[in-house]
Amino acid sequence: MGHPMRGATAITGLGITPMGRIFGKSANELAADAVREAIADSGLRKDEIDGLLINPGITGTTGGGIGLGLQNYLGLNNLRLLNHMNAAGSTAAQMVQYASLAIAAGMANHVVCVFADNPLTEGKSSGSSYGGASRMPSRPQGVAGLYQHAGFFGPNTSYALACSRHMELYGTTHDQLGAIAVAERAWAVMNPRAQMRDPMTLEMYHASRWIVEPLHLLDCCLVSNGAVAVIVSGADQAKDMKAPPVYVLGMGQGHPGDPLRSGSDWETETGAKIAAKTAFSMAGLGPRDMTQLQLYDCYTYTVLVTLEDYGFCAKGEGGPFVADGKLGPGGSLPTNTGGGELSGYYMWGMTPLSEAVIQGRGQGGERQQKNDAILCTGNGGILNYHGALILGPNRS
Amino acid sequence: MTDATPAPSRPLPQADEISKEFFDGGMAGRLMLMKCTACGALRLPSRRHCDVCLADETAWVESSGKGVVRSFGIMHQRYHPGFQTPYNVAFVELEEGVRLPTNIVGVANDAIRVGMPVVVEWDRYEDVALPKFRPA
Ligand SMILES: [Zn+2]
């Protein structure tokens, strides 16, 4: 007898707005565009939606992000499930999880999970939207100010520190990290929604400027304006709906805690390790059963450490594992087939999730890969928060 | 004397209610850590409650100031006018086990290594001193 949640729910609707330097729409307006498209895609009537989960992106912190008020903007009335969620990049996977649990418990039938963000301002650089320097007080209070005085700015700094430790401990190289960036770009070339569609070579990767050494510009994700919405429904209803259902076969989370605490190996062992156990066990599957991966890739390094923590290779061997190009088109482990967050678009955990739904439906066009079991992950904070979904087109 | 605008400064932390002894210690050249009197765990004074046992009774102990570079990076992107790039950022782990964000001084950026032994050196300003680390 399998796990009762295995195949209990499915993703039945998907809406994706144009991505990138898209200006002139508020976060609510972007969210409404994505939700309208997801509802149309699912074939549901709007009044059949009885749950709404909301994840605002960085504008939830910096201002203007979507919040509980989105319910009224969308005109969703008499909801049976509603929340505003934020576990950073792990939230998208988590929204699908909480929606699935609620549906299985009879608390809702069709739950919209939506992410919208518009951190980019016309005429300003992408980097300025995440560094946080403009919001920094000249006299920060308490020991948290040690970060500011030392010149830590945004996630780039902390991910660089994590990556440098992996490189030092295991001999991981820039050629290996670059192989991840090159593979993802090769996928993005085939994705009409991707922001970066010009082919990239390893030489171009090496030539890209340092952001925070050891991270080159091409180790870092894009910044995007846009929105993505998915609809989660019970599996019994999903099979008769308009879009091909993508079943939720496994779910897990892992949150290792404060990186500054004594004894933490946060740099090289992440919440993926905890989430993997729960998700694989629920699905009754293991890493070898995964036919494609949609991994959260805020940085090339995030992909590398995630592969290790899910057991696709041993700890420390992520570099040699990816170096042969197996993640790219024609490789043995197709990963981030839409170009990911590095070359596709940066919608936090909705980037891997949206591509997993496209692939799970078999709608990937020239980039379609074998989709029996898709590992879809979300990672947030500085490797602090992790959410995992195992998805596939077959319920059993 | 001069009407030139002063060069922008790095953000200069100041004590909050729970970190006063840490910042006072810095002015006296002493790296002070918070110690949980219930379980003995050490921490930076970033919170009132012990993250191990949740007790909120604390004492203060002085660190040896010795540690190792846990990890480091070199900032090339300039996000704030108070910083000249490139500069290094690091997490140092003190021999007492406590970690803190800092900079490594007295060594070229390309000579910094993970695991390098370091010792505290104070970066002094008019009303605050910040713990930085140089090779031991
Ligand atoms: Zn304690």
User: What ipTM score was computed for the predicted complex, to two decimals?
Assistant: 0.96
Judging contacts by C-beta atoms under 8 Å, the chain A residues touching residue B15 are 141-142
Tokens of A201: 């070579």
Q: How far apart are alpha carbons A27 and A63 in whole angstroms?
A: 10
Are residues A165 and B114, on separate chains, in Cβ contact within 8 Å?
Answer: yes
The Å distance, Cα B20 to ligand 1 centre, comes to 20
pLDDT of res. A132: 66
**How many CB atoms are closer than 10 A to CB A33?**
20
Count Cα atoms within 13 angstroms, Cβ side, for B67.
28
Q: Looking at chain B, which residue has its C-alpha nearest residue A265?
A: B70
- Where is A61: in which H helix or E strand? helix A59-62
Picking from A127, A136, A165, the nearest residue to B80 by CB comes out as A136
Q: What are the residues whose beta carbons fall under 8 Å from the beta carbon of A396, sequence distance 6 or more?
A: A2, A7
Q: Which of A198, A228, A226 is nearest to A356 (CA)?
A: A228
pLDDT of res. B1: 45
**How many CB atoms are closer than 10 A to CB B64?**
11
Look at the block and give the residue holding tokens 């939606």.
Answer: A49
pLDDT of res. A130: 73
pLDDT tens string, chain A, 396 residues long: the values are: 699 999 999 999 999 999 999 999 999 999 999 999 999 999 999 999 999 999 999 999 888 999 999 999 999 999 999 999 999 999 999 999 999 999 999 999 999 999 999 999 988 877 777 766 667 788 999 999 999 999 999 999 999 999 999 999 999 999 999 999 999 999 999 999 999 999 999 999 999 999 999 999 999 999 999 999 999 999 999 999 999 999 999 999 999 999 888 889 999 999 999 999 999 999 999 999 999 999 999 999 999 999 999 999 999 999 999 999 999 999 999 999 999 999 999 999 999 999 999 999 999 999 999 999 999 999 999 999 999 999 999 998
Q: Quick check: helix, strand or coil at residue A119?
A: coil
CA distances, A366 to each of A20, A112, A173, A345, A363 (Å): 23, 29, 31, 19, 9
Are residues B74 and A154, on separate chains, in Cβ contact within 8 Å?
Answer: no
Q: How close does chain A come to B82, measured CA to CA in Å? A: 9
Beta strand residue intervals within A127-245, DSSP E: 210-213, 215-216, 226-234
Q: Residue range B20-43: average pLDDT? A: 98
Q: What are the residues whose beta carbons fall under 8 Å from the beta carbon of B51, sequence distance 6 or more?
A: A258, A261, B41, B43
Q: Quick check: helix, strand or coil at residue A328?
A: coil
Active site residue A130: no
The Å distance, Cα B54 to ligand 1 centre, comes to 6
The Å distance, Cα B49 to ligand 1 centre, comes to 8
Structural domains of chain A, with CATH? 9-121+221-392 (3.40.47.10)
Place B4 in a pLDDT band, splitting at 50, 70 and 90.
low
Q: Quick check: helix, strand or coil at residue A337?
A: coil
Q: Quick check: helix, strand or coil at residue B3?
A: coil
pLDDT of res. B5: 63
Burial class (CB in 10 A: 0-12, 13-18, 19+), B8: exposed
Write the DSSP symbol of residue A233. E
CA distances, B95 to each of A235, A292, B31, B60 (Å): 54, 44, 12, 16
